[in-house]
Chain A
Amino acid sequence: MSDNLREQLLLLPAYFQGHLLLTLAAITMGVLISVPLGVWAEQSARAKQPLLATVSIIQTFPSLAILALVVALLGGRIGFLPAFIALTLYSMLPIVRNTVTGLESVSSSVIEAAKGIGMSPRQILREVKLPLAMPVIVAGIRTAMVWTVGLATLSTLVGATSFGNYIFTGIQTRNLVAVTVGSLASAGLAVGLDSLVAAIQWLLEKRNEAVDSSRLRRIRLSVYGVIALVSAVALYGLLPQPRADFVVAGKVFTEQYIMAGLLAGELEQAGFMVDQHLGLGSDVLYEAISNGTVDLYVEYTGTIWANYMNREGNPGREAIRNAVVDYLDQQGVVAVGFTGFQNRYALAMRRDRAEELGVISIDDLLPYADDLLAGADLEFFGRPEWLRLRDLYNMDFAEKLTFDPSLMYTALVERQVDVISAYTTDGRVAAFDLLLLDDPRNALLAYDGIILASTKAAAQPAFMQAIESIVDGIPDQLMRQANRLVDVDGESINVAVEFLHAEMAKN
């Protein structure tokens, strides 16, 4: 077994437990809400269409959007609760619809007989209609169960633990073993829970049959056993866990995983218990640090400047740093300090091609730009930075191509394009020995790494002391090497964290 696989499997119990609890809780709540709603819809002609339309519309929302909306509605709260609510909403359609269909399909002669012998409407519902509709309702629950298991992987993005942790980390750090383990585990759980519900349904149907063969008894015992086991594992997550002192978080790319690991390591070394919530969306994270659900993460000045302060100009690196620090101060977020590296966009060329043309800055590029091919990631040519760059230097390229980031670097190395929009701390800049062009006219925004802390955490001197060493401790070059270990050399995040830690200790 490879080290990588072993490392992934060590994470399995925690992820499994998180995924199971999330799925079962959402399905249970989904059933508790949806079956009564279905019953109501079946009985009230006026309620039926609006209700079915509403649950259908919920279903058509992109699942990521639902997660984001729930987080926003909860005031930026992340973790189990928003994921649970979103998954519950998502489970409703098949259950409500099948409940209505199941109840409507009960034969009218049976219902008339029930009425004719003197059953009350409630007795007709409980003793005749619901039992007869049960197979259809259970089919709806099974559909919802399979969907929910799959969707639960997305809850990683709002900070709930699930098999999605494997998948998102794996995709971002090019760890296919992690992606495979996560996908297989999720699929396996879906099949397992589906079979379990099927088995419970089968037993309920056999309940009325007098045949009590030893085989039936054996099956019943094993189903009970599995139910008990599954519930125990899921409920274990509800036990009060030793509470972490601080929550360290990060966005969905390699540098963020490494920095979160580094920060968490420093805190742990200082004797704190730390929870890591990785792979969160940018907006979610900023909300979370503001309201104290997250205590520590690394943000970028350009992101705060453009996305949260909604500023358009580019007054230069220093001015943005100062403005951002002032702004954070007003927002009640503590800026612990800068990381030392800056992860911004930069135009990059192969060193040999640059030397051939005699280029070291964007100014030098002007005479050739009309003949050059440019490559960028999916969004660069749509961002204000590119528009500003185009206008300030009054230049454009012969052709502009967009790529997935990793393909963009390959295209440059293989001479399919002449210039790309590189990220300044990207490991591939170091690996391929690329030349980052200077930007004398300040077109491209500065993206200084800035360590943000919640006010609650920053109030503790020991916390500030623990992370002090990281402030201004990581120059571009060092961050680039750490990113390279993961992105180019295929090492794990932990190796990169160890590397940074060791390098910083030397100074």
Chain B
Amino acid sequence: MIELNNVQKSYDGGTTLAVANTSFVVERGEFLGLIGASGCGKTTTLKMINRLEEPSGGEIRVNGRNVLDQDPEQLRRNIGYVFQGIGLFPHRSVAENVVAVPRLLQWEPDKIRARCEECMDMVGLAFDEYGDRSPSQLSGGQQQRIGVARALAAKPEVVLMDEPFGALDPITRSELQEEFKSIQRSMELTVVMVTHDMTEALLLADRIAVMREGVVLQIGTPRELLNKPAHDYVRDIVAMPRKRAQRLEELMHDE
């Protein structure tokens, strides 16, 4: 469970707020989508949860414990993270990338090896075939599968994702989205995912928080946002996928 309580972030000593008085709760096993335009503060909000950014004010609790009371490195090792740029270690093999966190946590070698095979199976890349390869020998989709496997290897309850599928081609993206959603359900992961793709947010998230200029305008289930938008911006952004679908429909009928 993740709780944000009046969280603020300012890079200039309080004159302007990159994130202003933000509060929300992500329940255990819930998938929250954090959506908004570039620069709206969604990534900053995400990074404050595992202290890649330090909050300027307010309180963040993960599983009931204030993150500021924890060693940042220990905190990060217990929270899965899937990066926008994938960020695999190019000098390490695929298998070494997957088990990076268990190694940091100093698991037993046998346990690490077993977990590596398990995680690679989970993302559909057989350990025997891919384990010894170098990340550069994988396709973009395969690399992000390994990115997901790395995030899950230490069995975290909480996973943070920063536009994880943004760089992938549409077919690979939708495959990975579906697979990840089923993994999330079966493992009851608590997930916060930053995205600017409303379709992705609607398809994956249990609830969506819409941010603009550092402020959460509305937070709710896809249905709530569609039916009762609290703000014009929310209405526009939530309506976008439907509008595009209608436009496609029209194009087909025109023929």
What residues of chain A have their CB less than 8 Å away from a CB belonging to chain B?
A: 107, 109-110, 112-120, 123, 128, 131-132, 208, 210
Not counting A109-B85, A110-B89, A114-B89, a sample of 5 additional A-B residue pairs whose C-beta atoms are within 8 angstroms of each other reads A107-B85, A110-B87, A116-B50, A131-B91, A208-B92
Q: Is the CB of A117 within 8 A of B81?
A: yes
Size category of the B interface is 20 to 34
Chain B 136-156, CB within 8 Å of chain A: the 1/0 string?
A: 000000000000001000000
Q: Which 6 residue pairs across A and B have the least CB separation, nearest first? A: A113-B87, A109-B85, A118-B77, A118-B76, A116-B81, A210-B132
Interface residues of A, dominant DSSP: helix
Whether B88 is near chain A, meaning CB under 8 Å from some CB there, is yes
Contact present for B104 and A117 (CB under 8 Å): yes
B100 contacts A117, C-beta separation under 8 Å: yes
| B52 in the interface (beta carbon within 8 A) | yes
* A113 and B89 in contact, given A118-B73, A118-B76, A118-B77 (Cβ under 8 angstroms): yes
> Is A118 within 8 A of B101, CB to CB?
yes
Q: Distance (Å) between the CB of B40 and the closest chain A CB?
A: 20
- Bound-state CA distance A208–B134 (Å) is 9
Interface presence of B75 (CB below 8 A) = yes
Q: B13 at interface (Cβ–Cβ under 8 A)?
A: no
Distance (whole angstroms) from the CB of A133 to the closest CB of chain B: 10
B194 is an interface residue with CB less than 8 A from chain A: no
A131, B77: Cα distance in complex, Å:
22
From B75, B104, B150, name the one whose CB has the most chain A CB atoms within 10 angstroms: B104
Give complex CA distance A208, B131 in Å. 12
* Residues on the B chain within 8 Å of A113, using CB: 81, 83, 85-89
Knowing A123-B104, A208-B93, the reply to whether A116 touches B87 (Cβ < 8 A) is: yes
Report B61-77 residues with CB < 8 Å from chain A CB.
73-77
Subset of 30 A-B contacts with CB under 8 Å: A107-B85, A109-B84, A109-B85, A109-B86, A112-B85, A113-B83, A113-B88, A114-B89, A115-B52, A115-B76, A116-B50, A116-B52, A116-B81, A116-B83, A116-B87, A117-B76, A117-B77, A117-B104, A118-B73, A118-B74, A118-B75, A118-B76, A118-B101, A119-B104, A120-B73, A128-B89, A131-B91, A132-B90, A208-B91, A208-B134
* Contact indicator per residue, chain B 201-239, by CB within 8 Å of chain A (1) or not (0): 000000000000000000000000000000000000000
A128 to B87, CA, bound (A): 11
A106 to B111 CA separation, bound complex (whole angstroms): 31
Separation of A114 and B101 alpha carbons in the complex (Å): 10
Task: Point out the residues of chain B lying under 8 angstroms from A115, CB to CB.
Answer: 52, 76
Q: Among B74, B85, B86, B150, which residue has the most Cβ atoms of chain A within 10 A?
A: B85
Q: Give Cα A396–Cα B52 distance, bound, in whole angstroms.
A: 83
**Residues in chain B near residue A118, CB distance under 8 A:** 73-78, 101, 104
Q: Closest CB-CB distance, B46 to chain A, in whole Å?
A: 10
In the bound complex, do residue B83 and residue A112 qualify as a contact, i.e. CB atoms below 8 Å apart? Answer: yes
> Contacts of A110 on B, CB cut-off 8 Å?
87-90
Partner of A109, one of B87, B101, B150: B87
Q: Nearest residue in B to A132 (C-beta to C-beta)?
A: B91
Q: Which residues of B contact A128 (CB under 8 A)?
A: 89, 91
Question: Which residues of A sit under 8 angstroms from B150, Cβ to Cβ?
Answer: 117
Return chain B residues, CB-CB under 8 Å to A116.
50, 52, 76, 81, 83, 87
In whole Å, how far is B9's beta carbon from the nearest beta carbon of chain A? 17
Of B84, B91, B150, most buried by chain A (CB within 10 Å of CB) is B91
User: When each residue 86-114 of chain B gets 1 if its CB lies under 8 Å from chain A and 0 otherwise, what string results?
Assistant: 11111111000000110010000000000
List of A residues within 8 angstroms of B100 by Cβ: 117
| B140–chain A nearest beta-carbon distance, Å | 14
Residues of A within 8 Å of B101, CB to CB, are 117-118
B241 to chain A, nearest CB (A): 29
- The smallest C-beta distance from A204 to any residue of chain B, in angstroms, reads 10
Among A113, A119, A128, the one with the most B-chain Cβ atoms within 10 Å of its Cβ is A113
Q: How far is the CA of A119 from the CA of B50 in the complex (A)?
A: 13
- Residues of chain A within 8 A (CB-CB) of B50 are 116
Please, how many angstroms separate the alpha-carbon atoms of A440 and B73 in the complex? 90
Q: Which of B74, B100, B132 has most chain A Cβ within 10 Å?
A: B100
Most chain B CB inside 10 Å of its own CB: which residue of A107, A114, A115: A115
With the chains together, A71 CA to B93 CA distance in Å?
51
Q: Which residue of B lies closest to A110 (CB)?
A: B87
| B12-45, CB < 8 A from A | none
In the complex formed, the residue of B with least CB distance to A210 is B132
Q: How far is the CB of B169 from chain A (nearest CB, A)?
A: 19
State in angstroms the CA–CA spacing of A115 and B76 once bound together. Answer: 8
B91, A112: Cβ atoms under 8 Å? no
Compute how far the CA of A211 lies from the CA of B93 in the bound complex, rounded to whole angstroms. 13
How far does the alpha carbon of A119 sit from the alpha carbon of B101 in the complex, in Å?
8
CA–CA, A113 and B91, complex, Å: 14
Chain A residues, Cβ within 8 Å of B74: 118
Cβ of A109 and Cβ of B83 under 8 Å apart?
A: yes
Bound CA span A344–B92, Å: 71
Report the separation of the CA atoms of residues A112 and B87 in the bound assembly, to the nearest whole angstrom: 8
- Bound CA–CA A452/B94 (angstroms): 72
Bound-complex Cα distance A486 to B153 (A): 79
Write the chain B residue with the least CB distance to A113.
B87
**Which residues on B sit within 8 Å (CB–CB) of A109?**
83-87
In the complex, what residue of chain A is closest to B162 when comparing beta carbons?
Answer: A116
What A residues does B77 contact at CB under 8 A? Answer: 117-118
Whole-angstrom distance between the Cβ of B97 and the nearest chain A Cβ: 9
What separation, in Å, do the CA atoms of A123 and B77 have in the docked complex? 13
B90: chain A residues at CB < 8 Å are: 110, 132
- How far is it, in angstroms, between the C-alpha of A118 and the C-alpha of B71 when the chains are bound? 10
State how many angstroms separate the Cβ of B161 from the closest Cβ of chain A. Answer: 11
